[in-house]
Structures are given as C-alpha cells and as structure tokens.
Chains A and B, each alone.
Chain A
Amino acid sequence: MSLLSVQELQTHFIYRDIDYQFREAKALNKVTLSLNAGEVLGIVGETGAGKSLTAQSICGLLRPPAQIVGGSVMFDGKELLSLSEDEINAIRGADIAMVVQNPRSSLDPLTQIGKQLVRVHQTHSGGTILESRQKALDMMRAVGIPDPLGRFNAWPHELSGGMAQRVLIAMALMNEPKLLIADEPTTGLDVTVQAQILDLLEDLVNQFDMACMIITHDLGIVAHYCDQVAVMFAGEIVEQGPTKRVFQTPAHPYTQQLLAATPERLQMGIRSQLGGQPPDLFNLPTGCLSQDRCPKSTKKCETPPPMIDVSSGHLARCHFAESDNKAGSKGGD
C-alpha cells in the first residue's frame, strides 16, 4: 500500500462577487497520485496549474475561499480529509513536513533559528529541551550549516537565502517525517545554491528513506532529481509516470509541447511561451481541459478523455495517447 494516496481530489474556490453572485473556480479537478517511501515525485506545471494547491489541500492548509469539495487523501492508512483541525495539525510538521519558497520570510523574524528548531521539535516530539537542542544541532550539521553551535542563536534576517532554506529543511527533518513536500524550494535562490540545496535534499531522502514531493515549474530539476513525474494542467494531472519514460516518450500533447518548446533546463514561468489562453477555471469545458489550445484537438475531445495506460506506470489523459505511443514504444519494463 502506498504511503500517500490521493484519489480524485477536487478543490474549488467559492465566493460571492460584487454582484452577490456565486463564483466557483474549479482549481483542482480529480487529482489522483500516489507516493511510496523512498520515492521522489516531481509535480510540474505552469503557474496556476494547481501544484501548490495540491500540496496545501493534502496538508489541510487551504484558506477561504478555497475548499475541498471531493476526493480522498490517504496517508499512512489514515484519511486526512476526515481529520479534525487539531488532528491534522499534529501530523503537519511531524509525519508530513513542508519546505516552502521564500525561506527568509517564512521563518519567525522574532525568534532565533535554534529556538525555532527546538520549538517545532518540542511541539511534536516532546522530550527535554536539552534533547531537542541536541537534535537541532545535529540537524543543522546534517543540512550543511557551518558552525551550528555558533549559528544556533542567529536571527533569520542575518541568514542568506540558501542558508535560510537549509534551516527550513532542518526544521522539516526535526521530527523525522515520512513525507517531505518541497514547494518551489529553490525558486529565488542563486543558481549555484539551487544545485546545492537539491543535492542536499536528495541525500537526505536517501538517508532517511522519506517520500518526497517536489513541486516546481523547472523541468530540469525534475529530470535530475525525481524518479516519478506528474504533469499538471488546469488542475488536472495530464500525464504521470517514471521521469525517464515520460520525458523520452511523452504521450500527452501538453507534455510534448513543454519538452519540445523548451530545452530541458529552461524554466517555463511564462504562459505565453506555450501559446493559448490560460484556462478559465470558472468555465471549464466539458471533455478535455486542453481542447482549446491543443493542436490535435478534434470533436472527440469534447468527451472527457480517460487516463490511458501507455505502459506500466506511465499514464496519460488523452484520447490519442495510445495511438501515438503504439508507433514508437516497445513493450513493458
């Protein structure tokens, strides 16, 4: 059984606009994915595709007007969506830990970093302060912070971006999580630092045998660090599978466009590179969500495309997936 199993997750933004009419944006549309210990899953997509939202939905960190309207999230045998706020709060930071963008502004500016590490350990694991302190120092060493004892009393604003991100990672590891979610962990950092941080993450995942979910818009990162990849568009996963397979033989037109349009390491933050309007989440078409911008779209695309098994573990949500791959692929693996 998978450590994490998300089934048909639906998250919508529901609010009233200035005319007092209900407006509903379908931000996540039946997202399904799963993850096992020791695996690294990369979630890619353009801005607004729903990547961060998926992570937030899993952890119960949604803010109004966002709310989960359907689906299930099974983690370690528990249904997260049916837990109370207190229960899921106990899981956050302990079994499931998050590392986010903007490390410098995410740390509490009024508490020294050592104390913050101790605080998160005390909240979930208890024990004496001395034990927590020792653990904090160990973690700081593990993430490569030089002179941990000296830095223990440093203030967040004294740290560089890369250093702060290491602190965040240390914080995430304090309670030995089973799942680590990294939401754009290197965006905004220097290029050299990015590689260091990602290598560090890779090491730690192997060391602690964690499951890891990396959310990014950078295909290069996924290619180098992730075993599995899930491509998102308009709140849907349009293709997923082993990274090598998906990148070498993409089955979904969207993925194909992505890989063809940009060399591996080019970032795709700008929507217009791929042509077409961003999907209107308030008025999604019936059938395939990409039909308006897909070069292969036909009448058939007005019916919802099934998730087609292109090969073992490699899935694509497109009517034409099978036929494309039949041409070039070999048998299973």
Chain B
Amino acid sequence: MNNPSSNRWTLARVHNRARGLARLSPTATAGVIIILFFGILALFSNLFMPHDPVASYTDRILQPPSADHWFGTDGNGMDVFSRVIYGAKFGFGIAIPAVLISLVIGVPVGLIAGYRGGILDEVLMRIFDGLRVFPSIILALAVVAATGQSLLNVVLVLGFLDSPVFARLVRSEVLSLRSSIFVESAIAAGNPTWRILFLHLLPNSIEGAMAQTAVRAAWAVRISATLAFLGVGIQAPTPEWGAMIRQGTEFMITGQWWVAIFPGVALIFLVFGLNLFGDGLQDILDPRRRTSK
C-alpha cells in the first residue's frame, strides 16, 4: 500500500505526510497554527484593525473594553485592539531577522570550529563559555543601551548574542561526524575544505540546529519585548507589545487592566506557539519518542 522507498512526491503523498506529522505531534501542529495565525495578522493587519494604531482619541482615554474598542483604549486614547494586532509585525519583524543572523553567524562558526579544531576552536569556546556567566537579558540590555536605541540595533544584538547556541550545536555535530567514514573518504578524495564543509558536513549537522530555530525565535520575541518594557530599543508610542505593557504598568494598580494585559496575552500566545512548534519538532526528530501505538 504505502511504499516508503518511492521518491515521487505526489500530492496524495504530501497530504498523507502532513496528516501523519500532524498526528505524530499535535503540539507541533498547534504551534504551526498559532504561528500562522499571527503571521496572517502581521501581514494583513490592515484588514483586521478597526482603528489606526497610532490615532489617539483624546476624548476616550483609558476606556474599558467596549463594542467600539474591543480591548479598550490606553492612556493616550489609542485603540488597544488595533495596536495589539499591529504589534504582531514587530514580533516577526524582530524575531525572523534575528534568528537568521544567529544562523548565518553561528552555523559557519560552528562548522569551522568543529572541523578545524585547534587554537581557533579553543579560543572560541572559551569566549562562549565566558559569555555564559552573564544573564542573557542583562547582556542584551547593556549592549543595546550602550550602542544606541534603534530597532536595527535590537535585531543585530539579539542575533549576535544568540549565535553561540547554534555554533555550539553545529560544532558538536561536526565533531562527531568528523571521524566518520564518509567524511574521511571525502577528505581522502581530495575535496577542497569548503566543499567538505558545505556539501558533506552541513546537511548532516544542521538538523539539531533547525529544531532550535523555533525556540530561539521564541526567545528573540520575548527578549525584544522585555527590552521595550524597560524602555530600551523601542519607544512609545510605537505599538510594540513590550512597550505597550510598559505603558500599562502604572495603570495596573489603578484598575485599568486592559492596557497591559492584552498585549501580554498576545505576547504569550505567539511565544507559546513558537515553543510548541519547537518542542513538537524535537518530538518528531527524536525517534525514541514515537513509540506509542
């Protein structure tokens, strides 16, 4: 019936595979749905926002949720619902470039360090180990605060700071693969180093890194919101979720809960979706977990 050795990707086969993956890991599926949901919000926010996210209605400051303003209005009279929807853009706009940068820096560094070994590897590992003693939030905060507060900086800093994770993953894969037969024969056959790195080692080392991308993306979204919450990197009145929570802080203890709670819920959702997806991916990739009937 199902011939696994066939290489033809018919539509039915893709459909089956998708259904199979979905049932194998409901967590990954739920994660994907959530991510897609926010993705659509981010891309097509115009369709979903009833108001202009930065339009301030000075006559309707701090209104509780109502028919006109589903999530109420904030201290500047802006519609919280629209702002929350718009904020999805920041989630992806920061996380995707940041993770890409981490990959672009981390993967080659890991490949080279693992392959070459020697002093380069030692020094790099020492540096990474040294970085480990600093809490990542504090590190990110300090660097962004010191280098100037713009969105671009946030992305660059986050991307840079997260690259050791990928570098370490790839490096350990490379280390174990380096002495495998197929790599040794590739070397013996006289392949130039870059070929070995990219054609032979890369495809095999990247699997673990891939599963981590969703988790790192979740982290990037979280940290960028934290930075905004502390007033670093993104300023009001930008409709970014962290900045919105910052603005809503003072109103929490006076009872206007909607200003800070809704952006937080959105943030939790997106990060949760990314984490679900990452966790589900690890599920699928680890054969030991697929043992139920």
Question: Residues on A close to B: CB < 8 A?
Answer: 14-21, 63-65
**Are B2's CB and A65's CB within 8 A?**
no
**Are A16's CB and B2's CB within 8 A?**
no
**Are A17's CB and B4's CB within 8 A?**
yes
Query: Can you give 25 A-B contacts (C-beta < 8 A)?
Result: A14-B293, A15-B290, A15-B291, A15-B293, A16-B20, A16-B23, A16-B24, A16-B290, A16-B292, A18-B17, A18-B20, A18-B284, A19-B2, A19-B4, A19-B16, A19-B17, A19-B20, A20-B19, A20-B21, A20-B23, A20-B24, A21-B2, A64-B291, A65-B291, A65-B293
Q: Which residue of B lies closest to A13 (CB)?
A: B291
A16–B23 alpha-carbon span in the complex (Å): 10
Nearest-Cβ distance from residue A20 to partner chain B, whole angstroms: 3
Nearest-Cβ distance from residue B19 to partner chain A, whole angstroms: 6
Chain B residues whose CB sits within 8 angstroms of the CB of A16 once the complex forms: 20, 23-24, 290, 292-293
Q: Which residue of B lies closest to A65 (CB)?
A: B291
Chain B residues whose CB sits within 8 angstroms of the CB of A19 once the complex forms: 2, 4, 16-17, 20
A17–B292 alpha-carbon span in the complex (Å): 11
Top 9 closest A-B pairs, CB basis?
A20-B20, A19-B20, A64-B291, A21-B2, A65-B291, A20-B23, A19-B16, A19-B17, A15-B291
Q: Which residue of B lies closest to A20 (CB)?
A: B20
Chain B residues whose CB sits within 8 angstroms of the CB of A17 once the complex forms: 4, 20, 290
A84–B3 alpha-carbon span in the complex (Å): 39
**Are B292's CB and A64's CB within 8 A?**
yes
Q: Which residue of B lies closest to A19 (CB)?
A: B20
Nearest-Cβ distance from residue B292 to partner chain A, whole angstroms: 7
A20–B292 alpha-carbon span in the complex (Å): 11
With A20-B23, A20-B24, A64-B293 already in contact, 16 other A-B pairs whose C-beta atoms are closer than 8 Å: A14-B293, A15-B290, A16-B23, A17-B20, A17-B290, A18-B21, A18-B24, A18-B290, A19-B4, A19-B16, A19-B20, A20-B16, A20-B19, A20-B21, A21-B1, A21-B2
The A-contacting residues of B in range 105-139, CB under 8 angstroms, are none
Chain A residues whose CB sits within 8 angstroms of the CB of B24 once the complex forms: 16, 18, 20
The A-contacting residues of B in range 258-293, CB under 8 angstroms, are 284, 290-293
Chain A residues whose CB sits within 8 angstroms of the CB of B17 once the complex forms: 18-19
Chain A residues whose CB sits within 8 angstroms of the CB of B20 once the complex forms: 16-21
Most buried by B among A14, A15, A19: A19
Q: Which residue of A lies closest to B2 (CB)?
A: A21
A202–B62 alpha-carbon span in the complex (Å): 88
Q: Which residue of B lies closest to A14 (CB)?
A: B293
Chain A residues whose CB sits within 8 angstroms of the CB of B23 once the complex forms: 16, 20
Q: Which residue of A lies closest to B22 (CB)?
A: A20
A17–B291 alpha-carbon span in the complex (Å): 9
Nearest-Cβ distance from residue B17 to partner chain A, whole angstroms: 6
Q: Which residue of A lies closest to B13 (CB)?
A: A19
A327–B16 alpha-carbon span in the complex (Å): 57
The A-contacting residues of B in range 215-237, CB under 8 angstroms, are none
Chain A residues whose CB sits within 8 angstroms of the CB of B290 once the complex forms: 15-18
Nearest-Cβ distance from residue A65 to partner chain B, whole angstroms: 5
A18–B17 alpha-carbon span in the complex (Å): 7
Q: Which residue of A lies closest to B19 (CB)?
A: A20
Chain A residues whose CB sits within 8 angstroms of the CB of B16 once the complex forms: 19-20
Chain B residues whose CB sits within 8 angstroms of the CB of A63 once the complex forms: 291
Nearest-Cβ distance from residue B280 to partner chain A, whole angstroms: 13
A171–B284 alpha-carbon span in the complex (Å): 40
A19–B10 alpha-carbon span in the complex (Å): 14
A14–B293 alpha-carbon span in the complex (Å): 7
Chain A residues whose CB sits within 8 angstroms of the CB of B292 once the complex forms: 15-16, 64
A17–B19 alpha-carbon span in the complex (Å): 12
A42–B290 alpha-carbon span in the complex (Å): 34
Q: Which residue of B lies closest to A66 (CB)?
A: B291
Chain A residues whose CB sits within 8 angstroms of the CB of B19 once the complex forms: 20
Mask: chain B, 8-30; 1 = CB below 8 Å from A; 0 = not: 00000000110111011000000
A20–B20 alpha-carbon span in the complex (Å): 4
A16–B24 alpha-carbon span in the complex (Å): 8
A65–B291 alpha-carbon span in the complex (Å): 5
Mask: chain B, 130-154; 1 = CB below 8 Å from A; 0 = not: 0000000000000000000000000
Nearest-Cβ distance from residue B96 to partner chain A, whole angstroms: 27
Chain A residues whose CB sits within 8 angstroms of the CB of B2 once the complex forms: 19, 21
A16–B2 alpha-carbon span in the complex (Å): 13
A16–B284 alpha-carbon span in the complex (Å): 12
A138–B17 alpha-carbon span in the complex (Å): 60
A277–B81 alpha-carbon span in the complex (Å): 65
The A-contacting residues of B in range 1-55, CB under 8 angstroms, are 1-2, 4, 16-17, 19-21, 23-24
